[in-house]
Amino acid sequence: MKSKKVNRLYNKEQVQTRTRRVLFVAGPGTEILDLVGPLQVFARAAEMFSKQNPGSLPIYSVEVITTSSRAYVVTNCGLQIAAHDTFRRVRGQIDTLLIAGGSAIENDEMGIEVVRWIRKMAGRVRRIGSVCTGAMLLARAGLLDGRKAATHWNWCALLAKRCPQADVDPDPIFIRDGNVYTSAGVTAGMDLALALVEEDHGSRLALQVARNLVLYLRRPGGQSQFSAALSMQLTDRKPLRELESWVLENLDKPLNVPVLAERVAMSPRNFARVFAKEMKTTPAKFVERLRVEAARRRLEESQNSMETIAEECGFGNVNSMRNVFQRALKIPPGHYRRHFRSRRHGRPRPRAASLR
């Protein structure tokens, strides 16, 4: 009887929480999905938590703040959004401050008053971050100096040029460095928001929100912005585009340069040269990415053993697959399966994941 009482008290304490105030900063020409995508993640998390825990405090209070003198913002698609307030009138404690990307930031049109406010707020909030090109405003405020940072792949070179003191990585979908978070564009902002929800309230709620919003899965931050299949679509050479399907059907076979070159009727030397020029990567790295993506799907959707998946996807053994996963996704395959395995296959209770 005593243990049951203790358990009830523990469960009650679990749902007693404080409300975290999340502010989104939006400037003229804000990329609408950079703003409303992650905002909806926090709003839905608060809604779902309240339904599951009647009488508890809201876990998030979400607001939109403009960088102008008016409490509305016109997004890049022309849609006007009414904001809660302007940055000049913000008062009170803030937990999380996130800056959405947009044309005003990209064109370096933000006034010095906004930059100084961002710099000042960084010392007062628990964490600060950006979605897509919002990283450029963090950079102007000096918050990326000496830190690793991410942004949309198309803007990485400009961010690196504007902020040479930052270590800009064009590949990950989001990065955490201390209490500063930066993410790639558009849907990657939702991945970041889900990761922040998980950081605050655990993996279970984050997964529930992801399913509710019909997101395919919560991607770990180190995952590449590009899939190998998407990269292959960029080439105009039909033999190279068709090579992807053949590789996917033969992942368990040796897929070295001579084998691939023979498949497209080219000499190994010419194939390697053309492939690198068209795909901006080597054949070996491309095949590795296809193997990782195939293994991910099997880990999410099948009940096959790790040994079977490693063999089917051409890794040879589990240890080799683990090494590649750690390098490519910053997460081992066993950990990946525990987090992302479909509920219909008896997904075990998830554990909280750390951001890198």
Average pLDDT over residues 37-44: 97
Token digits for 227? Answer: 């899939």
Token digits for 334? Answer: 């066993």
C-alpha 245, offset from chain centre: 27
Residue 322 has pLDDT above 90, yes or no: yes
From residue 291, alpha-carbon distances to 54, 112, 254 in Å are: 45, 48, 12
Q: Does residue 161 share a domain with residue 244?
A: no
Q: With cut-offs at 50, 70 and 90, classify the pLDDT of residue 23.
A: very high
Is 205 part of a structural domain of the chain? Answer: yes
**What is the chain's length?**
356
Write down the residue that tokens 């909280």 correspond to: 352
Please state, in angstroms and rounded to a whole number, the distance separating the CA atoms of residues 293 and 226: 11
Q: Does residue 201 share a domain with residue 253?
A: no
pLDDT in tens, 69-102: 999 999 999 999 999 999 999 999 999 999 999 9
Is 54 part of a structural domain of the chain? Answer: yes
Residue 339 has pLDDT above 60, yes or no: yes
Residue pair 181/126 in contact by the 8 Å Cβ criterion = no
Name the phi and psi angles at 340, rounded to 5. Answer: -115, 5
Q: Does residue 203 share a domain with residue 103?
A: yes
Strands 80-82 and 180-183: unpaired
* CATH for 326: 1.10.10.60
Please state, in angstroms and rounded to a whole number, the distance separating the CA atoms of residues 229 and 191: 20
pLDDT in tens, 201-245: 988 898 889 888 987 555 655 555 554 444 444 445 666 767 877
- What residues does 86 pair with on adjacent strands? 66
Q: Does residue 69 share a domain with residue 196?
A: yes
- The domain boundary residue, chosen from 212, 237, 255: 212
Please state, in angstroms and rounded to a whole number, the distance separating the CA atoms of residues 310 and 264: 26
pLDDT in tens, 147-199: 999 999 899 999 999 999 999 998 888 999 999 999 998 789 998 999 999 89
Which amino acid, residue 56? S
pLDDT in tens, 199-211: 999 888 988 898 8
Rounded to the nearest 10 degrees, what angle do helices 318-329 and 283-301 cross at?
100
Residue 80, domain extent: 17-212
Q: Does residue 167 share a domain with residue 46?
A: yes
Q: What is the dihedral of CA 144, 148, 153, 156, to 10 degrees?
A: 50
Q: Does residue 148 share a domain with residue 37?
A: yes
pLDDT value of residue 340: 66
Is 74 part of a structural domain of the chain? Answer: yes
pLDDT in tens, 108-129: 999 999 999 999 999 999 999 9
Is 64 part of a structural domain of the chain? Answer: yes
Token digits for 239? Answer: 């033999």
Average pLDDT over residues 239-266: 87
* CATH for 92: 3.40.50.880
Is 223 part of a structural domain of the chain? Answer: no
Q: With cut-offs at 50, 70 and 90, classify the pLDDT of residue 300.
A: confident
Please state, in angstroms and rounded to a whole number, the distance separating the CA atoms of residues 23 and 85: 10
Q: Does residue 21 share a domain with residue 120?
A: yes
Is 236 part of a structural domain of the chain? Answer: yes
| Residue of 283, 195, 179 whose CA lies nearest to 231 | 283
* Domains: count for the chain: 2
Please state, in angstroms and rounded to a whole number, the distance separating the CA atoms of residues 168 and 153: 10
Q: Does residue 42 share a domain with residue 85?
A: yes
Q: Does residue 247 share a domain with residue 156?
A: no
Residue 327 has pLDDT above 70, yes or no: yes
**What are the b/e assignments for 258-288, b being 16+ CB within 10 Å?**
eebbebbebeeeebbebbeebbeeebeebbb
Q: Does residue 267 share a domain with residue 166?
A: no
Is 326 part of a structural domain of the chain? Answer: yes
Q: In what order do the strands lie in the sheet with 127-131?
A: 85-86, 60-66, 20-26, 96-100, 127-131, 180-183, 174-177
Count Cα atoms within 13 angstroms, Cβ side, for 14: 12
Residue pair 131/100 in contact by the 8 Å Cβ criterion = yes
- The domain boundary residue, chosen from 212, 243, 265: 212
Please state, in angstroms and rounded to a whole number, the distance separating the CA atoms of residues 344 and 14: 27
- The dihedral through the CA atoms of 49, 51, 55, 57 has a sign that is positive
What percent of the chain is predicted at pLDDT more than 90?
62
pLDDT value of residue 65: 97
pLDDT value of residue 225: 55
Q: Does residue 142 share a domain with residue 90?
A: yes
Residue pair 278/235 in contact by the 8 Å Cβ criterion = yes
- The domain boundary residue, chosen from 212, 238, 270: 212
Verdict on whether the full-model pTM lies above 0.75: no
Q: Does residue 130 share a domain with residue 38?
A: yes
Helix, strand or coil, per DSSP, at residue 117: helix
Tell me how many degrees the CA angle 274-277-281 measures, rounded to the nearest 5. Answer: 105
